[in-house]
Amino acid sequence: MAASTKTPPVVIPASANNIVVNTSQRGNPVLECIRNVGKEFGDIVADYQVGRTTGVLFLSLKYHRLHPEYIHRRIERLGISYNLRIILILCDISEHREPIRELTKACLINNLTVVVAFSFEEAGHYLTTYKQYEFKSPDLIKERAEKDYHAILRTTLTSISKVNKTDVETLRTSFGSFANISKATPDQLQNLPGFGQVKVKNIRNAFEKPFRNQATGSLSLLSSQARSQTVPDNGGTVRNLHQTATREDSPVWDIELDIDGMPDEPGVLARIRKDDTKAFDLSSEGQQ
């Protein structure tokens, strides 16, 4: 699909909190579901402009089933407009897998993001959220990596079953560092307040138990033993699987020897030699 290289001018809304709506969307029930942000109609190539660099095309699968060419014309008109290009699909039919699959292929080719909604309410919520987060920092959804030593220690030790934040403070004040905690004996741990046998066992297992469990090691050992065991072959001879059996060279096969060794039934050998000679003569003629 050829995309137009002409980029239409960006429509700046009257208010920074407004979503610019294409006039073709008048009467769309999704407009009533857009809340907490303003709406205004404007001359845009997308259906909804939820940011200066974000445009949304709206498509109902029920409408797409009747007019499959519509969305392709809209994508072509969209050209290279907007940095973030979204197609908001309203899934309002039961057999939706195949249409969504085909639309996803078209969106991959034309650099569009697919968002699927299963109701007008959900579609309106997506449009509202895009507008509300237009100027938000991506740090809001980034993982917060702890840099403080005590925070890292707390996160690490609370990953052990039954160990809570109070227990971590008790361990820190009693042993001072993570290295000393890892070397603490069960008797030392049991002397701490709030540390019973189960909690002490979990802590010691966290530091002493190997990452590779015993079951995995046993399976690996059994597998290696099985490969090295000797097994009988079809002839009853015992051989090792790791050893490469040596074969004797096959004897040279000569049809004349086999024919000479055959029992001379009346006319059989003579007929075989006659047929061979005839076949050789025919092949020689074909080569000439």
Q: 149-208 domain in CATH 1.10.150.20?
A: yes
Question: What percent of the chain is modeled with pLDDT above 90?
Answer: 57
All structural domains of the chain with their residue ranges = 18-133, 149-208
Judge contact between 149 and 58, C-beta under 8 A.
no
Q: Do the domains 149-208 and 18-133 match in fold?
A: no
Q: Are the C-beta atoms of 208 and 184 separated by less than 8 Å?
A: no
What digits encode the pLDDT tens for the residues 209-224?
Answer: 887 665 555 656 666 6
pLDDT at 4: 47
Q: Tell me what the mean pLDDT of segment 102-127 comes to.
A: 95
Is 108's pLDDT higher than 90? yes
Q: CATH for 18-133?
A: 3.40.50.10130
Q: What is the spatial distance between Cα 146 and Cα 243, in angstroms, rounded to a whole number?
A: 56
Q: How far apart are CA 85 and CA 77, in angstroms?
A: 13
Residue 106 has pLDDT above 80, yes or no: yes
- Segment 174-200, tens digit of pLDDT: 999 999 999 999 999 999 999 999 999
Please give the pLDDT value at position 15.
Answer: 86
**Mean pLDDT to the nearest integer, 127-135:** 92
pLDDT, residue 11, reads 78
> The pTM is what?
0.50
275 vs 168, more confident? 168
What pLDDT sits at residue 3?
Answer: 45
- In this prediction, residues 238-263 reach a mean pLDDT of 52
Predicted confidence at residue 235, as pLDDT, reads: 54
